[in-house]
Amino acid sequence: MLLAIAVRNLVRQRTRALLTLASVGIGVVSLILAAGFIDDILFQLREATIHSQLGHFEVFAPGYVDAGRREPLAHTLADSRAAIAAMRAIPGVATVAPRLSFSGLLSNGRADATVIIEGIDPGAEAAIGTAMTTIAGKSLEAASGPAVVVGEGVARSLKLRIGGTVTVLASTREGALNTMDAPLAGIFRSPFKDYDERAVRIKLRDAQDLVASDSVNSLAALLRPGASVDDAVSAAKRALPPDRYDIRPWWALADFYQGTASLYRRQFMVLLTIVATMVLLGVANSVNMSLHERQAEFGTVRALGYGAGAVFRQIIVESAVLGAAAALLGIVLGVMLAWAISAIGIDMPPPPNSDIGYQAAIRVSFSNIALAAAIGVFAAVIGALLPARRLSRMPIVAALRHAV
Amino acid sequence: MLIRLESVSKTYPMGVQTITALRDVNLNIEEGAFIAIAGPSGSGKSTLLNIVGLIDQPTSGRLLIDDREVSGRSPDDLAELRARSIGFVFQTFNLLPVLTAEENVEYPLLQFRELKAKERRERVAHFLEVVKLQAHAKHRPNQLSGGQRQRVAIARALATQPRVVLADEPTANLDHRTGSRILRLMRRINRRNGTTFIFSTHDPRVLEIADRRIDLDDGAIARLGVRAGETWSYACERGPRDVAQVIESK
């Protein structure tokens, strides 16, 4: 009967209940939209990170991540062919891309620039790098023979033209200077501006010839859709001995993503606190007014033999029912709005460290819906706690005095 | 003795002043009595009823029910005692507006875990029959007349089978005819079941059917009357000043 009375009281005090319903419902809708928007931003950043540089996980020679960027040729994988075979055998792995990266110079004959030269397998890299676009010329995969593709920033700083010959200079491990002349096949743009300002890509074989090495210093793995990164990393760790291979998931290598995600999560927490506080105050105010009108009713209930606890429970159950109804309403409205906004799309300016704007959406996820609903119900219940406590402890005679 | 008050006083703070609502009240109430508490407004009738009904605490003195002291008991103990021993009939009926007549009668019974749902329904039906409201069992308070609401309140007060029913001005909000019917109904229940009824009232009709009366004046018992046929035989419990009053009345 407690629940029936709660529901009937809410129906009876329709206007008051609708006000509370709106206050909690709007809170739930805003949380679903805000959380979904942030999720989409992070999802797109994650996809851009994975599909431009990192893949889902990478395998390095021990020490490469911490010190190898200064001496990349001293930290190459011992047996890359065996490692590639072992990685391809891991369930969920779609592509393995070997890379040999080192610093060098790129010259146009008149000027040169310090660059990061990446020797890549164009076919494997095309599968991983779906977030990279060729903005002029063609991709390395489409080029026959030795060729060079450069990031947009490199092309701009050296005023490079498609088809023109460029010279790539690098030191071998032994210290000898070596050069490679090749036509500029294409210019690419990735989601990360600083990468585009220093990246030069050539075919892996050409890179190995340039530095007189037949090895690679990293293997990037791309997983099939739905495959678990954690599972694949665990399988890779089992398959490749840790003393010879350092295996890292993409997020352990994505400092920019981590920083951005942390910033957005904090912003969301602040928003969540603000929304929860607003809902709480709204509910407390509405419950207070409603209970003030019903003091005599609760005085009667206690005169009939019910204790203060029963009155307290009654008020809390009413608020919880109202919070649950509002959360349900908020979920329906929030999801519908999220779908509608996503269908239209939100035009976003280029994020920091990027020249590419994008279209954001509102991602609808169970965890966000559950969180928003829980906050709604929680705020409704918390908002009722103080009024419920005050009223349940009110002297019965004082409460009955409010009877009309 | 069902209820005994020994030197009960009640004071209220009001701003910097202290208002004395009851002063040094001594009273014995026997089981099965039909008692009217009379007196002018502010004489302490409602306060006395509230203290006997365990919804207010005396400032000093002792209240005993079945010779057991109840002063100082915990709020939960008092609630339990109210649930099982005391029924209330309010001047403003105080029915729960969202419940039907039968649900209002059933509401206090829900506290009794030992009462099965079937027994509960039977008891509700019985008391609705006693107050002749079976036909209105499914009606909500706003669909009932004042008299019908008061009858629902009486059925609710009786449903727990209390030892004593306290009625605060039960006829004040009813028309003359309905008020008389309600009083006759309560008198009948008193005679049939032996339920003790205590009224606070201004209504002379209540005094006509009561078999004892307690006249309060300025928070003190001015006189106690026992019905003697059509008149009252007064006894005094207040000392020399009251004796004079009693004699004068006679």
Residues of chain B found within 8 Å of residue A401, distances taken between Cβ atoms = none
What DSSP designation does A351 have? P
Rounded mean pLDDT, B138-146: 94
* CA-based nearest distance A273→chain B, Å: 36
Contact A404 B92 (CB under 8 A): yes
Tell me the percentage of chain A whose pLDDT exceeds 70: 99
Q: Please report, for the domain that includes residue B141, its CATH number.
A: 3.40.50.300
How many residue pairs from chains A and B have C-beta atoms closer than 8 A?
70
Contact A304 B90 (CB under 8 A): no
Q: Which of B184, B220, B182 is nearest to B90 (CA)?
A: B182
pLDDT value at B246 more than 70 = no
Nearest-CB residue to A12 (from B53, B55, B98):
B98
Contact B98 A404 (CB under 8 A): no
pLDDT value at A63 more than 90 = no
Q: Which of A132, A122, A144 is nearest to A193 (CA)?
A: A132
All structural domains of chain A with their residue ranges = 2-49+257-403, 62-244
Residues of chain B found within 8 Å of residue A306, distances taken between Cβ atoms = 79, 83, 108, 111
Q: B interface mutation test: which of A16, A302, A304, A311 has the most B CBs within 10 A?
A: A304
For A32-47, write each residue's pLDDT tens digit.
999 999 999 999 889 8
pLDDT value at B22 more than 50 = yes
- Per DSSP, the three-state class of B5 is strand
pLDDT value at B241 more than 80 = no
Contact A5 B90 (CB under 8 A): no
Burial of A222 (0-12, 13-18, 19+ CB in 10 A): buried
Contact A5 B99 (CB under 8 A): yes
| Lowest mean pLDDT segment, chosen from A8-12, A212-216, A251-255 | A8-12
**Domains in chain B: how many in total?**
1
Asked whether the whole model's pTM tops 0.90, one would answer no
Identify the helix (H) or strand (E) that includes residue A87.
Answer: helix A80-88
Residues of chain B found within 8 Å of residue A396, distances taken between Cβ atoms = 55-56
pLDDT value at B5 more than 50 = yes
CA distances (Å), origin B100, targets A8, A235, B81? 11, 67, 26
Contact B82 A308 (CB under 8 A): no
* CA-based nearest distance B54→chain A, Å: 8
What is the interface pTM, i.e. ipTM, of the complex?
A: 0.89
* CA-based nearest distance B201→chain A, Å: 17
Q: Which of B87, B171, B160, B94 is nearest to B126 (CA)?
A: B160
Q: A interface mutation test: which of B12, B54, B96, B113 has the most A CBs within 10 A?
A: B96
Would you place residue B77 in the very low, low, confident or very high pLDDT band (cuts 50, 70, 90)? very high
Contact A12 B56 (CB under 8 A): no
Would you place residue B31 in the very low, low, confident or very high pLDDT band (cuts 50, 70, 90)? very high
| pLDDT value of residue B249 | 35
Residues of chain A found within 8 Å of residue B98, distances taken between Cβ atoms = 5, 8-9, 11-12
Q: Which amino acid is at A351?
A: P
Residue with tokens 């947009």: A152
Domain enclosing residue B143, as ranges: 3-248
Residue with tokens 């890292």: A248
Q: Which of B249, B225, B94, B220 is nearest to B168 (CA)?
A: B94
For A262-302, write each residue's pLDDT tens digit.
998 999 899 889 988 888 888 888 888 888 888 999 999 99
Q: Which of A109, A115, A93 is nearest to A228 (CA)?
A: A93
Residues of chain B found within 8 Å of residue A11, distances taken between Cβ atoms = 98
For B173-195, write each residue's pLDDT tens digit.
878 888 888 888 889 989 998 99
pLDDT value at B247 more than 70 = no
In DSSP terms, A136 is beta-bridged to: A187
* CA-based nearest distance B102→chain A, Å: 13
Q: Supply φ then ψ for residue B68, to 5 degrees.
A: -110, 130
What residues contact residue A64 under an 8 Å CB cut-off, 6+ apart? A72, A75, A217, A218, A246
